[in-house]
Each structure stands twice: as structure tokens, then as C-alpha cells.
Amino acid sequence: MIHSKGPLLSLDVGAREATEVDVDEELSEFVGGRGLCTKLAHDRIPFDADPFGAENRVYFGTGPLQQSQMSFTGRMSCTGLSPLTGGLLSANAGGYLTRNFVGTGYPAVEVTGASDELLVVHVTDEGVEFVEAPELEQATVPEVTEYVQRERDLDAENIVCIGPAGENLVRYACVMTYESRAFGRGGLGAVLGSKNVKAITFEGDSTPEIDLPEEIQMEVHQAAATSDDIFRRQGTTSGTEFINDNFSLPTRYFEKYHFEHADKIGGDAVEEKKYKKGSCSMCAFACKLPTRDEASGLETEGPEFETVFSFGSNLEIGDIVSVMQSNELCDIYGMDTISAGNAVAAYLKSEDEFGNSDLVHETVEKIAYREDVGDLLAEGVSRAADELGVRNYTVKDMEFAAHDGRVLWGQGLSYAVANRGGDHMYSTTLRNEYDGEVDPETLEGKPELVMRNENHAAFRDSGVICAFAAGTGHVSEETLEELFQADYEEMQALGAKVVELERHFNNKRGMDREDDTLPYDLPGIEEALDEYYDLRGWGRDGIVADDVVGEYAAADD
């Protein structure tokens, strides 16, 4: 199977040391991206590590497709121990970083230790420089970009960074790149904040050569360039009204299933504000959403569907400009829009202030700086729910995405078993249910579907290839076989290993079946869990035995 090449670069920011580590064996087995990073994190982060401790590590990784010129390949993975969930977690981001990252000659970079001063780390194919930057304390994401442009003559596509939320250890702070693209879920930005790392830059001209099949790349790229898919105009918001009318668009902090003003924040409303095309590196599909409100001068990128839900319907706000403003504030401060929006929704419910846009925007800022109630909300919904007097709508302490498991039962099962918690991208079973491939209101056959979708996603994020490549019909299982020169069942097996390593790590931190729960009843869930565990070859307590992962992981306590 085709895989990435090169050594791991390990950055000890406390000692200010950079070392190279041979990971050829790991790459040959785990390909790159999420697979490689999960393997390294499992073996190199202590099972009892404090997410905010020096012993935690953050991994950035690309896959072999980042050496291609093909659409849908401008993405990379970030992995570490999450301060939100307390488990091993990978996030994924697009933008223009990937080619600059692989230009350094490394398929993965590890950040460990903790600095006593705020740092910017510059990684090139000629060496690493650790620069103290106290002037960047509490700087926003755009201010970090301006600093790097001024000091190093590098652009936004060379940078990963954190905003004030990361420095202030907001548990759902993002790692940001290209100013508006986020390694969004799980709070890995706060882990960099705990290490006093404000930014890392990447530049070089030492991309390893990987022999990738040319013809299939051109076919995918051409199809992406000529597609008339509505995603190219409206991104993920294109399904807002369909979901609202036929399934559920959670509203008023999950009290209601339908939002009467969905048309004011949905795909058409977003498209009306779109003023140019937006894309990721090398991608001709161009599904991003640079938007502008002429009246106020507000510009942002997005909002995508998840933000339309989290800062729109779930707050009972039917004003697309308000949602755009919330989106922009989260980008500036470096916060996940899903978790932040849900935290604000919980607060609005506790105050009976649904629909109050001014309060929403004030609260987002307070969260980023941990001021007043923002200090509580920065801990996440699960840790704040009791004090707010609201229901805890999370799984494994991660706030829910928009796709409602109360009407999409397979997605509900996915939320329950996902190592990442209440995240929609872990298996994307929602697509099968929205598209009518399976009956959404049954769990029959869903354990196997969820498992295979999880395996597929884990391989996809190891490749690395965009989730929309398959979602829009441009990359099939057969296409993956041609690209990676391997049988699809081999990819499924690799994905299963990645999921298993995550689960094993989390088990060692005390997680088991009791954590695979939902905050609402789902008929047949206990039987579905039994079936899922059986299919995975795990115990019915949700625990992976050491000898199951022993052949491909260091499984010692």
C-alpha cells in the first residue's frame, strides 16, 4: 500500500530541542495522517497523562496524497490527548498548509514538553528555530498571521497557531491554520496553549517523492473542476432546509426538532452572502464559503452547516449575519464553533435569553478570555450543565453536532460508540440515513454500518483525503484502490486498527461501556452495543484486551 515517507520530527519545546525519529515501520503499517499520529500517540503519550501536562503530545501529520496534485487532498490531521473528552482524539483541517508541511521533508511533527515562555517555532527543511514571542500574548489568530508575515515573510498558509482561547485553556480551543480553517474538535489548541506554543510555521522544498498513479488523479481532478454539485455554491449549508423539514434541526438547546426560520440561515441565505470562491490546496471543487455582509462590512469564511445549527437554530437566531459574526469571532479567538455554540445555547437556556444575538457575541468573547460566566462555559457543556441547571447534551463530554440521533438512530449509535464522543464525522452514518439508503428509525443492521463507516473514515484521514470526495461521489472504494494500490478490505483493516488503538488508549484511562451512552433513550441501544462490540472483537464491557492490539502497538500499562 502506498504510504508517506520520511522521519518524525520531535519538538521538545521545554528543552528547545528538535530530533528526528525513524518511523518507517509505522508508516508502512499506518500509511500517514491520523493512522500514523494515532499509533505514535498511543505509544508515546503516557496513559495517565494530564491533557494540560508537559507529558501530553500533539501530532501533526499528512498522508501520501499530499504529494499529489489531485483535488480533495488539501487536508491534514492533528492528534493528541483531548482536554475536553479526556481521551485520544484526532481533528482534521483543510486550507493550504499541507504542501508547505510536506515540503519540510517530514510526514509528521510531534510537539512535547512545555515552554516557560511563549514560543513561535519555525520548521524548515534546513532546521528548526525556537523564538520567544512574549509580544504575542493573547494575540488573535489574524494578529499572529500579521506577526509571522512581518517577522518571517511567510503567509497564512505556512502557519498553525492558537488564539486567546488556546492560551486561556478553553477546553474546545482549536488549532487554526490559514486564519479560518480549524483543527476543530476536542480542544487540541488548548494543549498547545498549555505548552506555551503560540504558532508553528512550516516551509521547505524537500517533499519526498511518492509514486502515485497519474491517470486516476487527473480523472478525479477533472470531475471536481466540472462538477455542478450544489456543494460548490452552498457548502454543507445546502441541506439545511431539507434536514429541517424531513428530519431534525435541533432548536432551543435541543428542545425542539424544527426551526421556523431555517430559510433565513440556510443554503440560499449563505449563498446570497458569498462573494467569491474558496478552496483548499490543489482542490478544484472549491466548496468553501467566503461571505460578506455589505451593510456592516463583516467578512468571514462560512458559516458551514454545523455553525448554522450551533449559532443559529439551537439559539433560536434566524439572522444569517448574526451567525456569520459568531463564526468570525470563533475564528479570531480560535474556538470550535460546535462546542462554543452549544455552550452558549446552554447558557441562553439557563437565562431564558434565546434569540439574543448581542448576548451571544458578548458571551463568545467572554469564553475566549474566561471572563465572568465565560470561565464556566469554557469548561464545556458537560462540566457546566449542573451549575447552569440544564440537561447535559454531550457524549464523552463532547458537544453534539447538528445531526440528531433521536431521529437518525444509526447516527445516535455512532455518537455513543465513537471514541471522539458526540462528533458527526467519526462515522458519518448520517449520510446513509439522510440519503434513504437505510431506514433512519431502526438500529437493525446499524452496528456493522457504523463500524465500517468508522473504519473508512480512519483510513480516509490517514490517506489523507477530504470527506467530501466520497460524499459528493468523486472518490469511490474502487478509486481508493487505484490511488493506494491496495484492496479496499485492507483499508478497512487499517482503519479498524486505528479505531482500536484509540479505544485501547481510552480504556487505559478508565473509559468503557458506561461511557458509550446517550443523554436520551434510543430503543434497542443495549443490544446494538453488544453487536458492535462483538463485531469489533472487543469485550461487551467495551474494553479492548491488551493482546488484541499487542501485535501492532506497545500495550504496556
Q: Chunked in runs of 10, what are the mean pLDDT values of the chain (557 residues)?
A: 98 98 98 98 98 98 96 97 98 97 98 98 98 98 98 97 98 98 98 98 97 94 94 96 98 98 98 96 96 98 98 98 98 98 98 98 98 98 98 98 98 98 96 97 98 98 94 93 97 98 98 98 98 98 93 60
* Phi and psi angles of residue 143, each rounded to the nearest 5 degrees, phi first: -70, -35
Residue 173 CA to residue 166 CA, distance in Å, equals 5
Residue whose cell numbers read 488523479: 217
DSSP for 416-434 reads HH-TT-S-TTTT-HHHHHH
* Phi and psi angles of residue 170, each rounded to the nearest 5 degrees, phi first: -65, 130
Residue 14 CA to residue 1 CA, distance in Å, equals 37
Amino acid at site 293: D
3-state secondary structure 206-264: CCCCCCCCHHHHHHHHHHHHHCCCCHHHHHHHHHHHHHHHHCCCCECCCCECCCCCHHH
Residue 554's pLDDT is 67
Q: Cα–chain-centroid distance for residue 405?
A: 19
Q: Are the C-beta atoms of residues 238 and 262 closer than 8 Å to each other? A: no
Grid cell, residue 355, equals: 434569540
Grid cell, residue 217, equals: 488523479
Residue 555's pLDDT is 46
Residue 372 CA to residue 242 CA, distance in Å, equals 39
Residue 291 CA to residue 385 CA, distance in Å, equals 34
Q: Which residue ranges form the domains of the chain, and what is each CATH number?
A: 8-203 (3.60.9.10), 231-399 (1.10.569.10)
Residue 509 is given by DSSP the state T
Residue 244, CA atoms < 13 Å, CB-side half-sphere: 23
CB atoms near residue 453 (< 10 Å): 22
* Three-state DSSP state, 293: coil
Task: Spell out the residues 6+ positions from residue 449 whose beta carbon is closer than 8 angstroms to its own.
Answer: 410, 429, 432, 438
Residue 58 CA to residue 504 CA, distance in Å, equals 18
Task: Spell out the residues 6+ positions from residue 437 whose beta carbon is closer than 8 angstroms to its own.
Answer: none
Q: Are the C-beta atoms of residues 315 and 344 closer than 8 Å to each other? A: yes
| Cα distances (angstroms) measured from residue 275 to each of 51, 69, 179, 332 | 40, 26, 18, 20
Q: Are the C-beta atoms of residues 314 and 291 closer than 8 Å to each other? A: no
Residue 94 CA to residue 465 CA, distance in Å, equals 10
Residue 129 CA to residue 152 CA, distance in Å, equals 12
* Phi and psi angles of residue 250, each rounded to the nearest 5 degrees, phi first: -55, 135
Residue 557's pLDDT is 41
Residue 407, CA atoms < 13 Å, CB-side half-sphere: 17
Q: Are the C-beta atoms of residues 166 and 202 closer than 8 Å to each other? A: no
Task: Spell out the residues 6+ positions from residue 153 whose beta carbon is closer than 8 angstroms to its own.
Answer: none
DSSP for 269-308 reads HHHHHB-S-B--TT-SS--B-EEE-TTT--EEE---HHHH
CA proximity to 288, closest of 296, 275, 297: 275
Residue 139's pLDDT is 98
